Structure 1
Amino acid sequence: MEWQEHKGAWILTPSRALGVIHFVGGAFVAAAPQVTYRRLLEFLAKHNYVVIATPFLSTLDHTTLAAQALRQFNTGLNYLEQRHRLKRFLPIYGLGHSMGCKLHLLITSLYGAERAGNIFLAFNNYSASQSIPFMESVLKSENLRGLRESFSTTEFSPSPRETERMIHEGYRIRRNLLIRFQNDDIDQTPRLIHILEQRPDFLITSKRLAGNHLTPLGQDWSWQPGQDFSPLDAVGQWLRQTLFTELQQLEQEILHWLEPVQQYR
């Protein structure tokens, strides 16, 4: 099973498909999801889920990014249905990390995409000044007053408040899994839970796991110690055991939510 690229989307197709997952990653790391999220996405494909990962380059216009992601996904799905005879009745799930969560929320709230469920990892919905590296420092710098005034009017579209309103008014996906990590200072999952809980018909599963905001990016890498076990070898082994264990726990939680009745294979 190898990655295929079709009109910008990256696709993994198992021989026996149980469902389809539309993956959207976080800002700056979403440009190459087949690399940055390789371990997580290949794990899902090995458990018989078609993965269609739609990359993007970060801009302030999140509405357009959401529309592009949905268009790329639909193009990839049509390609699989026509060329690989993928069954049309398979359930479709959205999976997003960080900013990818916001894009999935917009995809369903604004564009009415139908999903069997959505999975949100480390959701955040901060303003541009809080999200763009160094912008807050620029805004506080007296030596860059003109630039500060220009940045002060810069904001994502939709803004955090507008995004929450759109979710409240337009989001209709009943089944949702929300995962946050213990060492994540920029996570806003509780806020999203509060919004979704206003719909009593929604099925919301919330988990807090070991890890941090970058845990979904973890890779399955092996560390080969040298002939003489050194402090560097000890660090390498610790990183492998810690990071890989956290990613494994995340993978199993996602799989359990996707297949609550089945045993892990």
Structure 2
Amino acid sequence: MDDWQEVAGNWVLIPPRPTGIVHFLGGAFVATAPQLTYRWLLEQLHQQGYAIVATPFINTLDHTAIARDVLWSFEQTLNRLQSTRLIRKQYLPIYGVGHSMGCKLHLLIGSLFDIERAGNILISFNNYPASRAIPLLEQVSPFVSVEFTPSPKETDTIISKGYQVRRNLLVKFTNDDIDQTLTLNQLLQAKFPGMVSLQTITGTHVTPLGQDVSWPVGQVFTPIDAIGQWFKQEAYRDLNKLKQEICRWLNPLGSI
């Protein structure tokens, strides 16, 4: 396992000479410990030379407040990394990477706040109302209207009017019934024609959460070992494809 550090409330991985910074935000119910839930994917990006800053957050109905808080937290950590010389260059390109709700947060950050981003990678975007996004919400409060701030419609309007990040990679999985990437693609293509890349790859909504499967092989390679290696290969096929698409977009001239 790579050497994760907690810096100013964020989990970071810093290579010796980083070529860029990835600000990662995860999905609603797995974002409290991104260094664990997204460990494999983030460590793969770290091995490609990117400094990883993964900001944990707790989901509430006020997504604008969460976006403001995670941006402030990220900037505090970035300042700390630069002041302690863990990151020596004053300027490195910053890429936002989000999964599920993390996409919405990066979109709000890029629409409501004055930031500089070299680009955003938005994986499995969804923008459903609270009644669909939160299990059993209607049963818990059937007589009270509960909704996210901003609402799905308001979020679309905010993106259409204010989103500033021109270069974007959108990733959609083939077996993901809560994905709304195609709708987001239409919004962003209208703002930045030719600057938005859409990739559809095999997988599900939870593909980015894949973890390392340890299958030790004995001195004699048995049929059981063969099954284990096949299972590991199949489990990582979609996750590896995701990693390859991200790395190719980050560095089109590099090799993976």
TM range (shorter): over 0.9
3-state SS in 2 of match to 1:87: coil
- Distance in 1 separating the partners of 2:136 and 2:235: 27
CA distance in 2, matches of 1:210, 1:164: 27
Query: Structure 1 counterpart of 2:204, which letter?
Result: N
Could you say what secondary structure the match of 2:157 adopts? helix
Runs of 4+ aligned structure 1 residues displaced above 4 Å come to 224-230, 236-239
Contact residue 166 and residue 192 of structure 2 kept, 8 A: no
Measured at CA, do residues 202 and 62 of structure 1 come closer, stay the same or move farther in structure 2, by a change above 3 Å? farther
Once the two structures are superposed, the pairs formed by residues 135-146 of structure 1 within 5 Å of their partners are 135-136=137-138, 138=139
Residue in 2 aligned with 1:93? 95
Secondary structure of the 1:220 match is coil
1:128 is matched with: 130
Partner of 1:218: 210
Q: For 2:55 and 2:88, how far apart are their aligned partners in 1?
A: 18
2:106 to 80, 104, 107: 104
The alignment-based identity, stated in percent, is 50
* Map of 2:143 onto structure 1: 149
- 2:69 matched residue in structure 1: 68
Shift of 1:239: 4.2
Counterpart in 1 of 2:249? 257
- Aligned residue among 159, 163, 166 for 2:158: 166
Distance 1:34 1:86 in 2: 23
Verify the 8 A CA contact 1:215 1:243 in the aligned structure 2.
Answer: no
Deviates more, 1:48-57 or 1:191-200: 191-200
Q: TM-score, normalised by structure 2?
A: 0.93
Q: Give secondary structure in 1 for the equivalent of 2:142.
A: helix
Alpha-carbon distance in 2 for matches of 1:69, 1:202: 29
Q: Distance in 2 between matches of 1:5 and 1:200?
A: 36
Q: Which amino acid aligns with 2:33?
A: A
Structure 2 residue runs without a partner (length 5+): none
Question: 1:141 maps to what in 2?
Answer: none
Q: Which amino acid aligns with 1:255?
A: C
Aligned partners of 1:238 and 1:186: how far apart in 2? 29
CA distance in 2, matches of 1:239, 1:211: 15
Q: CA RMSD in A?
A: 2.0
Give the letter for the 1:149 counterpart.
Answer: F
Deviates more, 1:170-179 or 1:106-115: 106-115
Note if contact 1:28-1:58 (Cα within 8 Å) is conserved in structure 2: yes
Deviation at 1:105, TM superposition (A): 0.3
* Gap regions ≥5 residues in structure 1: 139-143
Cα deviations across residues 221-264 of structure 1 (Å, max 9, x unaligned)? Answer: 2234799866xx95x55542222111111001100000001222
Spell out the pairing of 1:159-238 with structure 2 (5 A cutoff): 159-201=151-193, 203-224=195-216, 234=227, 237=229
Rounded Cα–Cα distance in structure 2 between residues aligned with 1:237 and 1:61: 44
1-structure distance, mates of 2:192, 2:241: 29
Moved more, 217-226 or 3-12: 217-226
SS at match of 1:186: coil
Q: In the alignment, what sits opposite 1:244?
A: 236
State the Cα deviation string for residues 32-66 of structure 1 (Å, max 9, x = none). 00000000001111111000000001111100100
Matched length: 252
Residue 8 of structure 2 contacts residue 80 of structure 2 at CA under 8 Å; is this kept in 1? no
What secondary structure is seen at the aligned counterpart in 2 of 1:250? helix
Q: What are the Cα deviations for residues 131-160 of structure 1, in whole angstroms up to 9, with x where unaligned?
A: 001235x2xxxxx7xx3112xx10000000
* Distance in structure 2 (CA, Å) of the matches to 1:201 and 1:70: 27
